[in-house]
Each structure stands twice: as C-alpha cells, then as structure tokens.
Amino acid sequence: MAIPNSKSTFKEYCLRALGKGVIDINVSDDQADDRIDEALQYYLNYHSDGVERVYLKHQLTEAEITRMKSNETAVTATDLVDSTITADWLQQENYIPVPDTVLSVNKVFPITDQLTTNMFDVRYQLRLNDLYDFSSTSIINYEMTMRHLDYLDHILTGEMPIQFKEHQNRLYIYTDVDTNFNDTEFLLIECYRKLDPDTYTSVYDDMYLKRYATELLKKQWGANLSKFNGVAMLGGVTMNGEQIYSQAIEEIQRLEEQIQLHHELPINYMIG
C-alpha cells in the first residue's frame, strides 16, 4: 500500500478508495483539491492530533508599545432621527499580530520584574485588601467572580484579560500599557497551533482524515452524477448519483459525530 505523504499522493489515495483505476470518478481536479482542502481544514480545527499546544514568545518593541497606546477610528455613528448628529468612536490599538496558524490563545505570561513592585503600588494594595484573610475567603468563589470582571487584572495570578479571534490574527491585551510593558521585554503566550501537514507529512496518513476526505469526494461525486439521474449510458447502465450522495452524507455525519465525541479537545481548553 502506498502511504500518502503529500497532498497529491493523498488525493490519489482517496480517489483509489472510491474505485479509481477500475471505474471513472466523475470529479474534476479542482473539485478534488477543494474537498481535500476542506477535509484538512476540518481536521486541523477539530481533531486533537491536528493541533499542538505551544508557548510562543515575542519581544516587544518601542514602536509596538507606542502604537498600543494610540487609537484607531472604529466607526462613525449617526443618530437615527437627526442625521446631522454624529459621533466618532475610537478603539485602542492594543493588539499584537500573531501567526495565522494559531487557533486560540489561552493566556499571556508577561515576563517582567513586577515581583519587585513595592508596597505602595496600587496592585499590591488591591491584593492586600482583598485577600487579607484566607480563612474567611472562598478562593473558588473569588476566582469565578474575577473571571467575569474582564476590566480588572486577575488578582490572584496577575493574568491580563485578553481577546483573540482566529480570523483577525490579533491578540488584544487589556492592561495598562505604560505600567506593564517596556520595550525589549518579552510576552509569552500559551496557544494552540495547527500542524503543518507539509512539514509533518504523517498527517496525510491519519486514518480519520483519509476516511473523511474520501467521503467528501464521494459526496462531490454523487452531486455531480445526480445531474444525470435517469439518463441511460452505453450498455443500458443508468447513473444513481442520489444514492451515492446520500450514502456520503450519512457517513460524513457519523464521522463528524465521532470527532466530537472521541477526538476533539474539551472546549474550555481552547479559550481565546
């Protein structure tokens, strides 16, 4: 058996699984490439073997810190009754671009000298006043409360509230930039990153990915053939694209249920 180790060999493997070499698979090359890309995207987003937890570090620059303290125009709002009344809303550029392979960011660890903060620092006083008596304070309730107060720094660990969306490639950090950031300092983030199948070629030999991609190709094949239902071919053979299509849909649903139950990381592991 030829083990697929690239996109081209993977595509040929899936087509052979459908019968290529014995029967004609009525799927164009572009359609096959699209379905393979779709299968890879689904696998790398949801399968635990398609992602890795990594720690990335970034050294801040003076230009980045200056930009993070500036504003960008977000939107101009117009009054619905009197169109002559408008208001410009600004948004702080307190974000750092991240690699496009990052799926989620769990937390940010600022590598600074804050442990040497003196007793007159406001953050020290907040911790002192809030946690002066551990015997009468429920740490569990305190932790749950602080997780909902996104505008405050995390009291217990000093974590900074963050926001990350995959399609933006922006890591927003909500903190006092002047106090917490200095140029040449590092940011350390814990994140989940998609594996590159061209680097880790064994991804193409994953049993689940091969089955899922094959069913997507089968679905495309059935959709193409359904356009000619009832048309008799040479020798009296008729095409039944609807049956191929429905079989593929049923198997795709089963595979997607399987990945949710057995292979997907718990959702609370990928916050961001």
pLDDT for residue 149: 46
User: Which distant-in-sequence residues (6+ apart) come within 8 Å of 158 by Cβ?
Assistant: 110, 114, 123
Instruction: Kindly state the helix (H) or strand (E) to which residue 105 belongs, with its residue range.
Output: strand 102-111
Q: Output the six-digit token pair for 270.
A: 């990928």
pLDDT for residue 150: 43
pLDDT for residue 151: 41
pLDDT for residue 50: 94
Q: Rounded to an integer, what distance in angstroms lies between the CA atom of residue 180 and that of residue 111?
A: 10
pLDDT, averaged per 10 consecutive residues of the chain (272 residues), comes to 90 95 92 97 94 93 91 88 93 92 87 57 62 56 51 54 89 85 87 94 96 97 85 63 92 94 71 46
Q: Rounded to an integer, what distance in angstroms lies between the CA atom of residue 259 and that of residue 257?
A: 6
pLDDT for residue 270: 46
**Are 221 and 64 spatial neighbours (Cβ–Cβ below 8 Å)?**
no
Q: 173-181 long-range CB contacts below 8 Å, 24 or more apart?
A: 173/68, 173/94, 173/95, 173/96, 173/108, 174/94, 174/150, 175/94, 177/65, 177/68, 177/69, 177/94, 178/69, 180/110, 180/112, 180/114, 181/60, 181/65, 181/68, 181/110, 181/112
The position carrying tokens 């014995």 is: 22
Maximum Cα–Cα distance across the chain: 92
pLDDT for residue 51: 93
Q: Output the six-digit token pair for 108.
A: 């940010």
| Residue 23 per-residue DSSP state | B
Q: Rounded to an integer, what distance in angstroms lies between the CA atom of residue 215 and that of residue 250?
A: 9
H helices present in the chain, as ranges: 7-18, 29-46, 62-68, 122-130, 139-148, 177-180, 207-225, 241-258
**Are 265 and 44 spatial neighbours (Cβ–Cβ below 8 Å)?**
no
User: Which distant-in-sequence residues (6+ apart) come within 8 Å of 269 by Cβ?
Assistant: 106, 192
Q: Rounded to an integer, what distance in angstroms lies between the CA atom of residue 198 and that of residue 6?
A: 7
Tell me: the pLDDT tens digits for 119-160? 666 666 666 665 555 555 555 555 555 554 444 445 555 567
Give the Å distances, CA to CA, from 204 to 7, 11, 46, 148, 171.
7, 10, 16, 41, 30
Phi, psi of 112 (to 5 degrees): -135, -175
